[in-house]
Structure 1
Amino acid sequence: MSVFTPVERTQLDKFISGFDLGRLIDYSGIVGGTENSNFFVATERGEYVLTLVERGPIKDLPFFIELLDCLRQADLPVPYAIRDRNGEALHQLCGRPALLQPRLPGAHVEHPDASHCHAVGQALARLHEASAGSGLQRRSDRGLDWMLTHGQRLRSRISDPVALTLVDQLQARIQRWQTQPPELPAAILHADLFRDNILFDGHHLSGLIDFYNAASGWALYDVAICVNDWCLDQQEQLHPARTQALLAGYASIRRFNPAEAEAWPDTLRLAALRFWLSRQLAADQHEGQEGVLVKDTEHFLRVLRNHQTVSIGLPLAL
């Protein structure tokens, strides 16, 4: 992911010396994200990922550490915070909170097929099943209140009248949800499970990474976030075979209910709105800054427009 805070080798040498991992061999910054500074780190004992947390309150980091421990215990392929010789998982490096985690095998899939999507759906359902019973809770800092505030502030940037109408309708829907929340199954959500946050070794899903947006919420919303990335065709519309495969994979672990089926179209639109807003805000924040990946700010506005009609529903057990 993009490197906002550089790390000198002497600093990293001293940091690594606190772990039982042998001597530092090499390290390099990871390019591709927009929020934290990440580095590949190689030592005599193996390969790791170092994350310097750039966004979000420090007080939430113990939650992420505990969540990943929970998911690891459920045999999900997730990273986890490596403890140093004193048993500490959370550290400081270059003035930033720092976590060192194992580097998981595999690579990102740029062009997924239906089998990839089926595996993603199953993994996401397992994540929700494990986290729903964990007792963990975290309020999202990019939830409904955040979307309502920034949606109202940024609506003037929308030139497409259809997209503007959909955003206004969603804002009204959010206000109704705030006063009368729908009764949808809840869990701890990954909330950012895009293609660049899943690893595959061939067609074997080998890693779920980057949990720094994880929070309590509707499981269906997490499904919508996944579908909006994994299941789009070149026209930025839902690809029927991949969408149906992801939903079927999920439903094979956790069944959808009628309330979720009813909420599905609006939830897809809500997920598109959330990432249009976050990309627009990131572009504004990092405009002109070298070395920072700024993603297409209009992509999710086009996805939202394409969700004006949703023809692929959730599979429900008969």
Structure 2
Amino acid sequence: MAVYTEITGTDLEIFLDAYEIGQALSLKGIAEGVENSNFFLQTERGRFILTLYEKRVEEKDLPFFLGLMEHLACHGLNCPQPVRNRTGAALGRLAGRPAAIVTFLEGVGTDTPDARRCAAVGEALARLHLAGADFAGTRVNALGPAAWPGLFAGVSARADKVAEGLCETIERELRFVEMHWPRGLPQGIIHADLFPDNVLFVGDALSGLIDFYFACVDAYAYDIAVCLNAWCFEPDLTFNIGKGLAFFTGYEHRRKLTEAEVEALPVLARGAALRFALTRLVDWLNVPQGAMVNPKNPLEYIGKLAFHQQVADARALGLLR
């Protein structure tokens, strides 16, 4: 989440006239994240999140995201629900951008996930995969391996300004992915961005999943790889195998991995590290002037990639079977 587009009081008042949630009492921008403009919205009827869609989110994909959140909630997952306006539409326009209001969920993210929370998010991810199995919508992963060379092409000339030798490192890894990326794995709806700031907790209890704007149809095991990278590394970029074990225990409590998925995990984790290194590199080098956003350092994921380059099998990630 971030703020790229400012909203005037007049524009907000006109926008909210289409809803039955009362007048705005306050609107506060959210600096965390990097993709869309997000605001805490307090009205006479309660608290909400207002999102203006920017950057990588294509307007044609918004009905998929909003419909998915409604579908998952019907299957027992606690996630934000789109607030529909008086005409029944979940999507409108505000300040020249597609915009939506979703319900506010209680809870906070975590900066230091422990093993208990890793287990909880593993189980929640499996529940998401199972709940999405009968969702009618479909969306290609726009940030899958096919997109990575194009992402890098736009910033490759400046990569070594971030770190010496970074261009060569990424070029070498792109060649590896092209040669070794697994095919034919079980797939369905995945979150694709289930970082600690997208999982809410009240105390130690997981209270909700948010930010579904990268959700798509792809390999379930790739979603697992994204989570391992996001949840199981320590600040010094060492992999905590205990957290990995907890995550897999939680996940397989709901859904057992196939042998093909287990075998593919080291390459998927390596690719997932490359994906976030690339998008962070693009964002790091292209912060719009005046935007209220905190870009994330791509070198964190280059460090995680270096770990995965030495991993031979899933046991090193905590899957001890």
Deviation of 1:313 after TM superposition, in Å, equals: 4.4
Q: Structure 1 residues 236-245 or 269-278, which shifts more?
A: 236-245
Alignment-derived partner of residue 299 in structure 2: 298
Asked if 1:198 is matched to 2:202, the reply is no
Q: How does 1:128-143 map to 2 (within 5 A)?
A: 128-143=129-144
Deviation of 1:132 after TM superposition, in Å, equals: 2.3
Alignment-derived partner of residue 95 in structure 2: 94
Alignment-derived partner of residue 212 in structure 2: 211
Alignment-derived partner of residue 24 in structure 1: 24
Does the CA-based 8 Å contact 1:192-1:225 persist in structure 2? yes
Alignment-derived partner of residue 188 in structure 1: 189
**Distance in 1, Cα, partners of 2:154 & 2:45:** 50
Residues 95, 174 of structure 1: CA spacing in aligned structure 2 closer, same or farther, 3 A cutoff? same
Asked if 1:3 is matched to 2:7, the reply is no
**Distance in 1, Cα, partners of 2:155 & 2:5:** 29
CA RMSD across the alignment = 2.2
**Distance in 2, Cα, partners of 1:175 & 1:63:** 31
Deviation of 1:138 after TM superposition, in Å, equals: 0.3
Asked if 1:51 is matched to 2:51, the reply is yes
**1:198-227 Cα deviation digits (max 9, x unpaired):** 111111111111111111101111111111
**Distance in 1, Cα, partners of 2:66 & 2:243:** 32
**Distance in 2, Cα, partners of 1:74 & 1:299:** 35
2:178 aligned residue (165, 174, 178): 174
Does the CA-based 8 Å contact 2:83-2:90 persist in structure 1? yes
Alignment-derived partner of residue 309 in structure 1: 310
**Distance in 1, Cα, partners of 2:289 & 2:10:** 30
Secondary structure in 2 aligned to 1:312? helix
Secondary structure in 2 aligned to 1:234? coil
Residues 45, 289 of structure 1: CA spacing in aligned structure 2 closer, same or farther, 3 A cutoff? closer
Aligned length: 314
Residues 152, 113 of structure 1: CA spacing in aligned structure 2 closer, same or farther, 3 A cutoff? same
**Please, which runs of 5 or more residues in structure 1 have no aligned partner?**
none
Secondary structure in 1 aligned to 2:172? helix
% identical equivalent positions:
38
**Distance in 2, Cα, partners of 1:290 & 1:161:** 29
Alignment-derived partner of residue 34 in structure 1: 34
Secondary structure in 2 aligned to 1:18? coil
Deviation of 1:184 after TM superposition, in Å, equals: 0.9
Alignment-derived partner of residue 222 in structure 1: 223
Alignment-derived partner of residue 115 in structure 2: 114
**Distance in 2, Cα, partners of 1:312 & 1:125:** 21
Secondary structure in 2 aligned to 1:173? helix
Deviation of 1:57 after TM superposition, in Å, equals: 1.7
**1:66-103 Cα deviation digits (max 9, x unpaired):** 11111111110111211111111111111100110011
Amino acid at match of 2:295: V
Amino acid at match of 1:7: I
Alignment-derived partner of residue 78 in structure 1: 79
Asked if 1:255 is matched to 2:256, the reply is yes
**1:223-277 Cα deviation digits (max 9, x unpaired):** 1111111111122121111111111111111101111111111111000000000
Residues 39, 316 of structure 1: CA spacing in aligned structure 2 closer, same or farther, 3 A cutoff? same
Does the CA-based 8 Å contact 1:256-1:316 persist in structure 2? no
Residues 193, 121 of structure 1: CA spacing in aligned structure 2 closer, same or farther, 3 A cutoff? same
**Distance in 2, Cα, partners of 1:81 & 1:108:** 21
**Please, which runs of 5 or more residues in structure 2 have no aligned partner?**
none
Does the CA-based 8 Å contact 1:258-1:316 persist in structure 2? no
**Distance in 1, Cα, partners of 2:5 & 2:300:** 28
Q: How does 1:239-254 map to 2 (within 5 A)?
A: 239-254=240-255
**1:157-191 Cα deviation digits (max 9, x unpaired):** 366779956862552332454xxx52211011111
**Distance in 2, Cα, partners of 1:122 & 1:155:** 38
Does the CA-based 8 Å contact 1:167-1:273 persist in structure 2? no
